[in-house]
Structure 1
Amino acid sequence: MQQSTAGQPASRLGRLGGWAADHSRAVAIVWLGIVIALGALAPFADRALSGAGWEAVGSESVAARSALEARFPGAGSYALSVVVAGRRDDPALRATVARVVTVLRSDDAVSGVPVPQRSRDGSSAVVLGLAGGRPDEMVEAAGRLKSRLTRLSADGIAVRLTGPAAMWSDFNAENKAAMLKSELLSWPLTLVLLVFAFGTLVAAGLPLLLTMAGLLGAGGSLFILGQFADVSIWAMNFAMMFAIALGIDYALFIVVRFRSALAAGLSPREATTVTMATAGKAVLVSGLTVIAALLALTLVPVPAFRTVPIGIGLAVTMVLAATLTLLPAVLARLGDRINGGRVRMRGAVDHRSERFAVWGARLWARPLPYGTAAIAILLALAAPALGLRTGMPTAAALGADAGSRQGQELLERAFGNGAASALQIVVREPDAAAARSALERDRGITAVAPVERSHGVVLLTAIPDAAGLNATIDRVRDELPPGALLGGPAAETRDLERALASRLPIVVGVALGLGFLLLLALLRAPIAAAAAVAMSLLATAAAFGVARLVFQEGVLDHLLGWESQGFVDAWAPIFFFALIFALAMDYTVFLLATVKAVFDRTGDARQALVEGLTGTGRVINAAAGVMVVVFMTFALAGPIAPREMGVILAVAVLLDATLIRLLLQPVVLRLLGARAWWMPAWLDRLVPDVGPGHEQPVGEPAPGQLEPSSRW
């Protein structure tokens, strides 16, 4: 049986690290083959992914779309709407409309083109291309056709493709451009920060190894998956972000522990085994926590929400697998050469930090003033979140030069401000008169189009007033005859918002519950685990308080160069909570596992806290700093949605790493003392033991010495 350096049987992860060290060449060859094979497919992943999927499965609006497609094929919300705007009685206008009809009919995704609808003043027309495919296929068709249609514009005549399919097509294009811009910004900054954090060029390159494995592996896997299922293009965005963030985090945790083991006099192989048996376990639990938080998102009945976690999960799995196999193989080969290319600079991450030792002692001596200040800051930032308004983004969230946004503006100018939000009511023939009467009586409906009939079913199209649109939809549904279905783009958006809001408590509860169970299994300390999970809510609430000020109130619009929507996207609270919670577990696991290991060895709560901060504080700071920079690059480019993503995640990580994990959490541990690590006997028998154990690694100081002696 393989032995640890302490003469005791090595853990499974320790044996895995030793095996990787002994077979480093084979491990490297296998990973090279995986990265080359999947990396060759990664550049084409965006072509295999879908821009649709933002609908509430089982909602009335989706049922209305299905009923409409069955009786009035192609007339659903993903039909292509082309606005032709010019001058009244201009002969060129009629000719341009004819050319638009020809272009639409030339595409296989368009099943037909009804008679164009003209505005009352005759200056504009809307040409409808009936949907002949699924929503994602219509988004692709919009991407193919929008340039051809725009080129039909002439002097005094504007041609623009608009509607949900065109909007998602434009959003995907802007999103992809934003990703490329963010990569160009983030990589140089990340490299500089990594060199600063590690202090050596060789060590700074290791996070890039994990990041590239995660990026290329996830990209290629998404391409393959996209051939068999509809996967949202958002999966690629978040997969990239998580590959970078977790690749850097995990490399920092592992490399710092490996350096510490080398400094203690261990051979490269022994150092690799000890590192994987200790820090490797923290990484594994962190990765499993991330995946558990992502699983909570699959409870949301929205296809995009059920597929985006797949992309992130693939990235996390690839990074985690590379961390547990490829990284130890490389470390064992490098040995002391990991310190090659040293760049002398203060602040480089080492295996201990005297400043954090002093900080830990200060928190132990005066916990209440520091804890009170942290809570006051977090509550002040979180207070604005109480007035948070949410909504789904419209074409107005796109850049001013986006064709779908320009088309919507032309449509509303010619047909009224609610024309882009037309409601579609599918009702049986006997109830048609009552339904039309209900629509005409409602104060929020400005016009009702002539009825369309098909095999005993009637389609009514109503133009609502843009003001109070959600209230109008809810009210009209109550007024319509039983069995009537109200759909259309605006109704689908309304149902999506309600589905997201209804699942928020469930997702929060599941994520917190799974996170608690994983921490409990690792720490075997229910009080410490519960406190850590509860504190994550403070950082999340504070991040959304900042989000309200930035994206709803627009306090930084002039400085940041964008125009706020007046609300935060409806998917942000539920989606970003899961992501923030997952990311926060990195620091939680690393800090608490270190503190717990020292406490198990010494029985001294004060020494455990001080040594825990001494050994992890600088690593947490460095990892959070790099992650914040990566996320903030997403806030500098593209439409509002990626900007929200970058700002909210960056603020949450910054607050969690500083005010929570390096201040409030140590204060809570100080106030709890030894009680933090209490474990009832009955629970001890039920929970599997995956904790750090009690053995003391070779070369580390004896108990009582204030050294980074935690086996993590």
Structure 2
Amino acid sequence: MHTTLLYRIGHAAAAHPIRALLGFAAALAVLLAASSAFGGETQENWDVTGTPSQAGIELLREHVPGAGNAFARIVVHADDGTIPASAISGLRDRLGDMDHVATVTDARFSADRDTAVLTVGYDVPVTDRSIMGNADGLTAAITPTRDAGLRVEMNGSVPETAAAPIKGHAEVIGIALALLIMVFAFGSVIAAGLPIATAIAGLIAGSAGITLLAGIINVSPTAPMVASMVGLGVGIDYALLVVSRHVEFLRRGHTPVEAAARAVATAGRSAVFAATTVLVSLMGLRLAGLPTYSSFGFATAIAVIAMLGATLVVVPALCRVSGRRIVPRTARRAMITENTDRMPLTARWAGRVGRRPVVAVLLALIVMVTLAAPAVAMRTWPSDSGAQSSELTTRRAHDLLAAEFGAGTNADVVVVAPTQGVDRDELSAAMTAVAQIPGVTAVAPITESPDRALDIVPITIGHDPADAATGDVLDGIRDRIPDGAILAGETAYYDDISQMLQRRLWLVIGFVVAASVVLLTVLFRSVVVPIKAAAMNLLSVAAAYGVITAVFQWGWGLSLLGVDHPIAVSSWVPILVFAILFGLSMDYEVFLLSRIREDWLASGDARASVISGLAKTGRVITTAAAIMVAVFLSFATETDILMKMLGLGMAVAVFLDATLVRMVLVPATMSLLGRANWWLPTWLDRMLPHIGLETADDDSGIPAAPGEDSPDVEPDRKLTPA
């Protein structure tokens, strides 16, 4: 996309704002109508093809009614005395009458008979739309038992999908905080409200696009929330970048139409390439090997593209409608006589950092490495009922089971052996060996499936599923079962997922970093800048990992987030946080370096260009980061533990990226390297396509608007870095 094209888009939208806004609204209406007609509902897909536990689950689904599919545990507890038999029999009957229920086990009583547990097996997977996130049938079945004075809690795959629904208040909180931050930063309600209005328009378009996506592929129910979180942040950032550049051009005396057109041609160009880096990072999620991650990547990409489209069309139109009122009144009076002798605070800061770059780099690295250090001890496990808030019935059921029957009761471990492939005597001998493994508390007798195709052996372990020792116990069982037998059950399935994601994390990191370095090399015509940017972004992500580990796994300040005990980091978090954060960090890198390179090409002064670039972008980046931190922290207020981890981790990383990285490490390292920042081998320069970033304000590629003279420039002037 050439600068002249972006200029024309911005100029057309600003010259005819009503047409532009009505056209965008019409396109939005068509998109909403299409999503209503052809869109689909969200549908989770938790199958993990290629893992042993998934193969075991498929065998159970095929040969054993109610096994391998969705399940629920109903825990009944009497505060005084024992549980009446009539209460259990009535409850069992009501559970059996529910839709899709294949089996209801007999009640298992605790030693003192004050607690009983029944397990409900369904004939469909937990991802089936009729039961996922829907515990109404279970609630109706247990209500009479609760009314009789007994305490009834439930966990298992069905209740856990319904226990902590996304409340949706995070977007409202994030938008409100963003508005307050921008009013404070810019001193103009109009300037603050314009990016918010644009982001809301983009949010609506993105939501419609995700609904259309759900009509084509399975989209995780959580994906729209993550897409909204990221889309809202980048949407406000992109709009803020263009609005700030528009105000800058207004202060220089350009007409509102010309200022808007130039803002889209310059800042809009940065937004285009910033969005490209985000999209590259999101595509790395496909390498994680889980359909859920692919849906996260596609949904978030749609949200980012929708926000970019709104930025390029809605922002210039609203800028024209706002006229000069977008500039604070006090600044309007002083537009012509503005004193530019005093350097902005960010420029003075960059100068100080540049005078002592080694000290600045060392201090910043010490802080970042210290924050990242806990990540070395990170332990991951898919979030289960034991990780959730004690306000939820799933957590209360988990605690009751652990207290009355032992921690391993919450684990689901079973050996599945096809009778045609595994000798019964060999399996029996293996189970005798399994019973001797430390951490295995019981091995049930071998039973056959109804069609005699499978031998099945339930195993009870002595640890909570998320306990660090559980993985060793499962590995011990795998080592002892005969060839052809499979370790299955929910706990083994979670363990397989956790191990697979740990391996795939490095593949995702390698792809995203390599692709981003190539893209930045093309954009900035430099080898040093992209490598340095990638290293700093990795440092920000590592610091986020460290903070997540310290807070959630070690329990530092955990109560502030409404969580009452330390837990393992969710296995879903590391890859998701990396892919999103690396792209967002590159956003700020593109914003800052584009202005630094612009000044470098104009002046050839490496140190001065750093100071000038930071001065021009400091307030925008700081404000944008503050907004994104507010948005992400608002998502940490959700009940679901995964959203808390994502919100906190990304908020911390963005804060560090906008402060220690952009305000200390970038100016310090660029001052140290000087002209070497822009070194590019001649042979590589010939190979790479030429794609410019922001053009200079007086670039001849931006045509003059009617009534404005073309700026005097030397069109062939080009500086070749040494």
Deviation at 1:337, TM superposition (A): 3.3
SS state at 1:459 partner: strand
- Find the counterpart in structure 2 of residue 6 from structure 1: none
- Find the counterpart in structure 2 of residue 617 from structure 1: 618
Contact preservation (8 Å) 2:389, 2:564: no
SS state at 1:446 partner: strand
Deviation at 1:120, TM superposition (A): 5.7
- Find the counterpart in structure 1 of residue 182 from structure 2: 194
Is 1:605–2:590 an aligned residue pair?
no
SS state at 2:56 partner: helix
- Find the counterpart in structure 2 of residue 379 from structure 1: 369
- Partner residue of 2:86 out of 65, 82, 95: 95
| In structure 2, C-alpha distance between the alignment counterparts of 1:87 and 1:199, rounded to whole Å | 60
| In structure 2, C-alpha distance between the alignment counterparts of 1:414 and 1:696, rounded to whole Å | 72
**Residue 118 and residue 632 in structure 1: after superposition, are their counterparts in 2 closer, same or farther (change >3 A)?**
same
- Partner residue of 1:223 out of 205, 211, 225: 211
- Partner residue of 1:359 out of 343, 349, 353: 349
1:357-377 deviation line (CA, Å, top 9, x unaligned):
222222332222222221222
- Partner residue of 1:128 out of 100, 116, 119: 119
**Residue 590 and residue 164 in structure 1: after superposition, are their counterparts in 2 closer, same or farther (change >3 A)?**
same
Contact preservation (8 Å) 1:167, 1:405: no
- Partner residue of 2:136 out of 141, 144, 163: 144
Deviation at 1:546, TM superposition (A): 2.1
- Partner residue of 1:465 out of 459, 462, 466: 462
- Find the counterpart in structure 2 of residue 266 from structure 1: 254
| In structure 2, C-alpha distance between the alignment counterparts of 1:117 and 1:544, rounded to whole Å | 41
SS state at 2:287 partner: coil
Contact preservation (8 Å) 1:56, 1:302: yes
Deviation at 1:480, TM superposition (A): 0.1
Contact preservation (8 Å) 1:423, 1:461: yes
**Residue 126 and residue 341 in structure 1: after superposition, are their counterparts in 2 closer, same or farther (change >3 A)?**
farther
| In structure 2, C-alpha distance between the alignment counterparts of 1:398 and 1:45, rounded to whole Å | 36
Of 401-410 and 332-341, more deviation after overlay is shown by: 332-341
Letter in 1 for 2:374: P
Letter in 1 for 2:91: V
Deviation at 1:54, TM superposition (A): 4.8
Contact preservation (8 Å) 2:35, 2:212: no
| In structure 2, C-alpha distance between the alignment counterparts of 1:103 and 1:29, rounded to whole Å | 55
- Find the counterpart in structure 2 of residue 327 from structure 1: 315
- Partner residue of 1:162 out of 155, 164, 169: 155
- Find the counterpart in structure 1 of residue 702 from structure 2: none
- Partner residue of 1:403 out of 393, 401, 408: 393
1:36-75, aligned counterparts within 5 Å? 36=29, 48-50=41-43, 52-54=44-46, 56-75=48-67
Deviation at 1:219, TM superposition (A): 2.4
TM-score, normalising length: structure 2: 0.88
**Residue 475 and residue 368 in structure 1: after superposition, are their counterparts in 2 closer, same or farther (change >3 A)?**
same
| In structure 2, C-alpha distance between the alignment counterparts of 1:591 and 1:687, rounded to whole Å | 22
| In structure 2, C-alpha distance between the alignment counterparts of 1:132 and 1:524, rounded to whole Å | 59
| In structure 2, C-alpha distance between the alignment counterparts of 1:693 and 1:114, rounded to whole Å | 67
| In structure 2, C-alpha distance between the alignment counterparts of 1:214 and 1:434, rounded to whole Å | 62
- Find the counterpart in structure 2 of residue 685 from structure 1: 686
Contact preservation (8 Å) 2:195, 2:243: no
- Find the counterpart in structure 2 of residue 448 from structure 1: 443
Contact preservation (8 Å) 1:631, 1:646: yes
- Find the counterpart in structure 1 of residue 75 from structure 2: 83
Of 667-676 and 353-362, more deviation after overlay is shown by: 353-362
Contact preservation (8 Å) 1:55, 1:493: no
- Find the counterpart in structure 2 of residue 439 from structure 1: 434
| In structure 2, C-alpha distance between the alignment counterparts of 1:335 and 1:495, rounded to whole Å | 59
Deviation at 1:38, TM superposition (A): 5.8
| In structure 1, C-alpha distance between the alignment counterparts of 2:202 and 2:472, rounded to whole Å | 45
Is 1:594–2:590 an aligned residue pair?
no
| In structure 1, C-alpha distance between the alignment counterparts of 2:698 and 2:501, rounded to whole Å | 49
- Find the counterpart in structure 1 of residue 539 from structure 2: 538
1:494-538 deviation line (CA, Å, top 9, x unaligned):
111101100111111111112112211211112111111111111
| In structure 2, C-alpha distance between the alignment counterparts of 1:10 and 1:695, rounded to whole Å | 11
- Partner residue of 1:113 out of 104, 125, 131: 104
**Residue 544 and residue 343 in structure 1: after superposition, are their counterparts in 2 closer, same or farther (change >3 A)?**
farther
- Find the counterpart in structure 1 of residue 408 from structure 2: 418
| In structure 2, C-alpha distance between the alignment counterparts of 1:242 and 1:53, rounded to whole Å | 22
**Residue 214 and residue 574 in structure 1: after superposition, are their counterparts in 2 closer, same or farther (change >3 A)?**
same
CA RMSD of superposed structures (Å): 3.1
| In structure 2, C-alpha distance between the alignment counterparts of 1:231 and 1:15, rounded to whole Å | 36
Is 1:507–2:508 an aligned residue pair?
yes
Of 485-494 and 327-336, more deviation after overlay is shown by: 327-336
**Residue 553 and residue 679 in structure 1: after superposition, are their counterparts in 2 closer, same or farther (change >3 A)?**
same
| In structure 1, C-alpha distance between the alignment counterparts of 2:697 and 2:182, rounded to whole Å | 30
Deviation at 1:32, TM superposition (A): 1.7
**Residue 425 and residue 34 in structure 1: after superposition, are their counterparts in 2 closer, same or farther (change >3 A)?**
farther
1:250-289, aligned counterparts within 5 Å? 250-289=238-277
Letter in 2 for 1:58: G
Query: Can you give the 5+ residue segments of structure 1 that lack an aligned partner in the other structure?
Result: 1-8, 345-349, 704-712
Deviation at 1:118, TM superposition (A): 4.8
Of 327-336 and 57-66, more deviation after overlay is shown by: 327-336
**Residue 562 and residue 701 in structure 1: after superposition, are their counterparts in 2 closer, same or farther (change >3 A)?**
farther
| In structure 1, C-alpha distance between the alignment counterparts of 2:36 and 2:380, rounded to whole Å | 34
Is 1:314–2:302 an aligned residue pair?
yes
Contact preservation (8 Å) 2:372, 2:546: yes
Deviation at 1:87, TM superposition (A): 8.5
Contact preservation (8 Å) 1:108, 1:132: no
| In structure 2, C-alpha distance between the alignment counterparts of 1:354 and 1:469, rounded to whole Å | 57
Contact preservation (8 Å) 1:62, 1:487: yes
Letter in 2 for 1:21: A
- Find the counterpart in structure 2 of residue 18 from structure 1: 11
| In structure 2, C-alpha distance between the alignment counterparts of 1:97 and 1:34, rounded to whole Å | 58
Contact preservation (8 Å) 1:522, 1:690: yes
SS state at 1:425 partner: strand
1:293-304, aligned counterparts within 5 Å? 293-304=281-292
1:285-343 deviation line (CA, Å, top 9, x unaligned):
11111111011011112222121122211211110111122222322343323236779
Of 404-413 and 333-342, more deviation after overlay is shown by: 333-342
Deviation at 1:696, TM superposition (A): 4.9
Is 1:234–2:222 an aligned residue pair?
yes
1:525-674, aligned counterparts within 5 Å? 525-674=526-675
Letter in 2 for 1:594: R
Query: Can you give the 5+ residue segments of structure 2 that lack an aligned partner in the other structure?
Result: 333-338, 700-708, 714-722
**Residue 278 and residue 450 in structure 1: after superposition, are their counterparts in 2 closer, same or farther (change >3 A)?**
same
| In structure 1, C-alpha distance between the alignment counterparts of 2:77 and 2:351, rounded to whole Å | 71
| In structure 1, C-alpha distance between the alignment counterparts of 2:695 and 2:625, rounded to whole Å | 29
1:453-492 deviation line (CA, Å, top 9, x unaligned):
1223111111111162111111101100101111111111
Contact preservation (8 Å) 2:31, 2:209: yes
- Find the counterpart in structure 1 of residue 360 from structure 2: 370
**Residue 451 and residue 142 in structure 1: after superposition, are their counterparts in 2 closer, same or farther (change >3 A)?**
farther
Letter in 2 for 1:130: G
SS state at 1:48 partner: coil
Of 394-403 and 472-481, more deviation after overlay is shown by: 394-403
Contact preservation (8 Å) 1:215, 1:239: no
Letter in 2 for 1:61: S
| In structure 2, C-alpha distance between the alignment counterparts of 1:441 and 1:17, rounded to whole Å | 73
Deviation at 1:257, TM superposition (A): 0.8
Contact preservation (8 Å) 2:414, 2:487: yes
**Residue 652 and residue 286 in structure 1: after superposition, are their counterparts in 2 closer, same or farther (change >3 A)?**
same
Deviation at 1:71, TM superposition (A): 0.8
